A and B are shown apart, each in its own frame.
Chain A
Amino acid sequence: MTQNEAADFGDAGEGVPGGADDETPPHIASDFYLWLWFTSEVGRGQIDVPDESPFTWWVDDRLSFRSAGEDKVNAVLTGENPSTTPEARAALAGGKVLRDVRLAIRRDDREYAVTLRGANIAIAGAKLPALLKTGDPAEIILERMFLYEELHWIVGTLFRAFGEARAGDGWSPFADRMREWAAGRVG
């Protein structure tokens, strides 16, 4: 689309140019967060990507839940390893779904922490690895953007892996395993 074409669809007064955001159904993010949690807890929480160095992830210090059909958070678990607590699994077994999850991610010698929030899987509170560059704003920005881009790529890689699993034929038996796990009979 050219700039002029873009302008044709643009601000016609008070509205936001381009109109309202596309809504992603909230269950997709909730299932993604559940998959992240289960595969890190019961699986090994690692992805091997062809021609790329692998990375690992685990649930860090925060999980928040919502009731199905609602957007607002109605239960939050924080502290050390909240994902391993009986309360966390009980929330799932009781019909709650995940709204936000805080992940820790390690790739090579770099560690990230990030909250994935809401239906749009928004990146919030992203802590980047310690910076090597100091002083010069240009170097700081370039390094931070490199790290942000890596984090964005990692989240995208995880989402793609989830997407293939969720859209595949194996999801139903996988969901049965998660149900057993949520009920405390596995893991």
Chain B
Amino acid sequence: MGALKGAISARRYQVLGEIPENFTGLYIDKLNDNAFRDALSAAHKEERQGWVQVHNLLDTEFDDSNLWLYQQYAVFAMRVDKKVLPATLFRAMLQKRQQTWCKANNREKVPFSVKAELRETLETEMLAQTLPRVTIAEVVWNTREGWVLFHSHAEAQNDRFRKLFHRTFGFILRPFAPLDYLSDMPEVADRLMASGGTDLRSVHTEGDV
């Protein structure tokens, strides 16, 4: 969290592109088109992702811009759901089903094709009973100045975010880098890049640390 409360841990991006005038209506459609949607089947196991409102992860409609656009700041969140089965329990249950099958069919071993079928059936049953692991990361987009804060430093989350943002709005996000602070001081940036790290060991040496 961080957009509305708590400490802020966020990666900053520059939005490469020009936001169209009167973008609100257009972006309502884009956010709705890429909003989080529940899977049609309870046994769905692939990762699902999409936008939700920042106020409640179950709110996935963006028709009312008063709920996500505050002056120049567009505020929403990326929700990612993934169902993960408990591996040890799954293996144990599969083993029991294989034993049951062998007994019922008076066989010593389960044929490969039957094994696959038992596995698939069990997976479907267990997925239907499993709640997804849900992660949320907030997004604050300054549409006037062209930068975005994504409230997560996790690499995988940031990769998902950049892809989903691009798919939704058509903009590439460029991560903010320290040398961006020196954008009007290119000679200083060049000298920093050419410098080595400062070594404070008593014997004076300077090398790339």
Size category of the B interface is 35 or more
Closest A residue to B162 by CB, please name it: A16
| With known contacts A22-B175, A125-B9, A6–B170 Cβ distance under 8 A | yes
Determine whether A43 belongs to the interface, using a CB cutoff of 8 Å to chain B.
no
Question: Which one of A16, A68, A124 contacts B163 once the chains associate, using CB atoms below 8 Å?
Answer: A16
Cα–Cα, bound, A182→B153 (Å): 32
Cβ contact of B4, chosen from A26, A68, A137, A164, cutoff 8 A: A137
Q: Count chain A CB atoms within 10 A of each CB in B16, B17, B73, B140 and give the residue with the most.
A: B16
Docked-complex contact A142 and B70, CB < 8 angstroms: yes
* Count of inter-chain pairs, beta carbons less than 8 A: 173
A176 partner residues in chain B, CB cutoff 8 A: 204
B140's closest neighbor in chain A, by CB?
A145
Q: In the complex, A9 Cα to B162 Cα: how many Å? A: 13
CB distance from B154 to the nearest CB of A (A): 12
Q: Which has the most chain A C-beta neighbours within 10 Å: B140, B187, B188?
A: B188
**B170 near A94: Cβ-Cβ < 8 Å:** no
In the bound complex, do residue A167 and residue B195 qualify as a contact, i.e. CB atoms below 8 Å apart? yes
Beta-carbon contacts under 8 Å, A51-76 to B:
68-69
Of the listed stretches B39-47, B79-87, B178-186, name the one at the interface; the rest are far from the partner chain: B178-186
Q: Interface size of A by Cβ–Cβ distance < 8 Å? A: 66
The residue from A97, A144, A179 contacting B3, defined by CB atoms under 8 A apart:
A144
Is the CB–CB distance between B4 and A97 below 8 Å?
A: no
Contacts of A167 in B (CB 8 A): 187-188, 191-192, 195
Binary CB contact string for chain B from 170 to 209 against chain A (1 if under 8 A, 0 otherwise): 1111111111011001011101110111111110101111
The main secondary structure of chain B at its interface with chain A is mixed
Cβ–Cβ < 8 Å partners of B179 in chain A: 24, 28
Instruction: Pick the contact of A11: B5, B55, B166, B198 (CB < 8 A).
Output: B166
Given A34-B198, A178-B200: A123 touches B17 (CB 8 Å cut-off): no
Closest to A21 in B: B175
Q: Interface code A9-26, partner B: CB below 8 Å = 1, 0 otherwise? A: 111000011100110111
**B187: A residues at CB distance < 8 A:** 167
Interface residues of B (CB under 8 A from A): 3-5, 7-12, 16-18, 20, 55, 70-71, 73, 75, 140, 142, 149, 153, 159, 162-163, 165-167, 170-179, 181-182, 185, 187-189, 191-193, 195-202, 204, 206-209
Further 19 A-B residue pairs, CB within 8 A, beyond A68-B197, A163-B188, A163-B192: A3-B18, A5-B17, A6-B17, A6-B171, A7-B172, A24-B179, A27-B196, A27-B208, A30-B198, A32-B178, A120-B178, A124-B153, A125-B7, A128-B8, A160-B185, A163-B181, A163-B182, A176-B204, A182-B200
